[in-house]
Amino acid sequence: MKSLRTRLLIAFVVLCGVTAAVVAGVTYVRARTVLLEKAQVAAVEAFTEKVARMTELNADLLSDRFSAAVILHRGRAVQGGLDPSAVSPELRARVASGEVSWQRVVVGGRAGLVMGMRVSDVEFYSARTMDDEQRDIRELALVAWLAAGCSMVVAVLLALLAARSVLRPVRELREAARRLGEGDLTTRVAVRGSDELAGVAATFNTTAEALERQVADARRFVADVSHELRTPLAAMTAVTDVLDEEAEHLPGDAGTAARLVAQETRNLTRLVDDLMEISRFDSGAAALAPDEVDVAAAATATLRLRGWSDVVTDLHPVTAVVDPRRLDVVVANLVANALRHGGPPVTLTVRGERGQVVVEVADRGPGLDPEVLPHVFDRFYKADSSRARSEGSGLGLAIAWENAVLHGGSLVAANRPGGGAVFTLRLPSGGGR
C-alpha cells in the first residue's frame, strides 16, 4: 500500500468487483427464478388443460416433441411411454394428496420438469425437458460475467483517472515546494477547483508570496541601511586626508585627535563595507559578475595593486569564468592574513586541475591553533581574544568563504606538514552557478 495510486486502484476495483458481483448475482438469481417459474407455470397449465380436454384415457394427448407422459390407473401404467420410475416417490405422494404437482429434476446435467395430477383413481404424469430454459439461463450467466468483467475494466480506468486527478496537484505541489526551497520565490501553484487540494495550493501561494515579500523587505532594508550609513561616512572619508595632513600643524591634543578620527573613520568605512557585503550574502542579494579571466594574471594584479612585492609566486596561466572583483577580495584577504599573522616566506600558487582552478596561499609561520582551525571562517571570530582589535574587521575570512561558495567553489584552511598555514581556494573554471 505504498502509493496513493495503488490504494485508489485497489479500492475502486474492490468496490466495483463487489458491486458488480452483488448486482449481477442478485439479478441473475431473480431472472433465473422468473424464467423457470414462467416456463413451469405454462407447462403445468398446458398439462392440466390437456387432461381436462381428455375423455378416454390417452397418454399421447399429453406428450409432444419435448415431453413424455404416462397414465396410471389404480397404480398400474396403462398408457404412455414415460417410465413411471422417473417420477419420484415424493411427487407421487404429493399428487396423491390431490394437488396438481410438479418437480424439477436434473439428470445427467439436463434439467427437466415432471408434472402430475390425480383424478379419482387415475394418475397423469408428464415429463418435459427444460433444455431451452437451461440454455437461456446459461446465456444469462455468461452475460452477467461479461458485464461484471467489463465493469471491472472500466473501474480500473476510472481509478487511474481519479488517481491522476488527485496525484497531479500533489505532484505539482511537491515540485513547487522543491523549487521554493531551492530559492525560486516566484514559484506559484495553479489553483484548480475548490476542494482541499485547492485550499493547500492557495495556502502555498500565499506563503510563497509572504516569503517573497519578506525577502524583498530584507533586501530593501539592506539597501536603505547601506545608503543611510554611507552618506555620513562619505562626508567623513572625504576629509580624512585633510585631517591627516593638517594633524602635524595642530597643537598638542588636537593633532592626536585629528589623526585618531581620520584613522577610525577609515576603520569604520572598512567595517561598514564588510557588513554590507555579509548582509548581501545573507539576504541572497549577492550576485556574480562573471568574466573570463586569466586567474594567474589577476592574482599578480592583486599583489601589484597593494604593493606586496615580497610574496613568492608560483603561477600557471589558467583561464576561468570568475567575478574578478570577488576573486581580488579573496586573494587579497588571504595574502594579507598570511603577511600579518603568518610568517615569511608567503607563497601564492595558482594552478589548474580538472575543471577547477586552485589558488593556494601558504606561509611558514606558527600555523593555526587546532582549537581555532574549525572556527577560522566564522564571523567576528578572533583567534586571540586578548588581542583587543586587529586591523581587519573580523569578517575578512567569512567574506572570502562566502565569495568562494557563491562561485560554486570552496575555501579550506589547514596546517602545513612543515609548519605554517595553507589556505586553498577552489573555483570551477566553467563558472559554477
How many alpha carbons fall within 13 Å on the CB side of residue 24?
Answer: 20
* 130 near other proteins, rule: CB under 8 A: yes
Provide the β-strand partners of residue 314: 349
Interacting span for other proteins (CB under 8 A) from 137-145, 165-173, 363-371, 394-402: 137-145
Binding residue count for other proteins, defined by CB under 8 A: 89
Of the candidate residues 64, 132, 175, 241, the single one contacting other proteins (CB under 8 A): 241
Report the distance separating Cα 267 and Cα 289, nearest Å.
27
* 158 near other proteins, rule: CB under 8 A: no
Site string for other proteins, 320-349 (x = CB under 8 A): ----xx-xx---------------------
Of the candidate residues 88, 165, 206, 207, the single one contacting other proteins (CB under 8 A): 88
Site for other proteins in 58-87 (CB under 8 A): 73-74
Judged by CB, which is closer to other proteins: 116, or 365?
116
Site for other proteins in 220-239 (CB under 8 A): 223, 226-227, 230-239
Site for other proteins in 347-406 (CB under 8 A): none
Report the distance separating Cα 9 and Cα 159, nearest Å.
5
* 247 near other proteins, rule: CB under 8 A: no
Q: 163 near 4, Cβ under 8 Å?
A: yes
* 57 near other proteins, rule: CB under 8 A: yes
* 303 near other proteins, rule: CB under 8 A: no
Of the candidate residues 4, 22, 34, 150, the single one contacting other proteins (CB under 8 A): 22
Interacting span for other proteins (CB under 8 A) from 135-143, 253-261, 344-352, 410-418: 135-143
Query: Which residue in 425, 421, 375 sits closest to 403, CA to CA?
Result: 425
- Min dist CB 97 to other proteins, Å, is 7
Report the distance separating Cα 63 and Cα 125, nearest Å.
10
* 274 near other proteins, rule: CB under 8 A: no
Judged by CB, which is closer to other proteins: 226, or 410?
226
Report the distance separating Cα 113 and Cα 130, nearest Å.
7
Of the candidate residues 9, 63, 72, 118, the single one contacting other proteins (CB under 8 A): 118
Q: What is the largest CA-CA distance in the chain?
A: 163
CA 381 to chain centre: 41
- Count of C-beta atoms within a 10 Å radius of residue 154: 13
C-alpha distance across the termini of the chain, in Å: 40
Q: 169 near 199, Cβ under 8 Å?
A: no
State the residue for C-alpha cell 584577504.
Answer: 333
Judged by CB, which is closer to other proteins: 327, or 422?
327
Q: How far is residue 158 from each of residues 4, 5, 109, 161, measured CA to CA in Å?
A: 14, 12, 41, 5
Of the candidate residues 23, 100, 143, 162, the single one contacting other proteins (CB under 8 A): 100
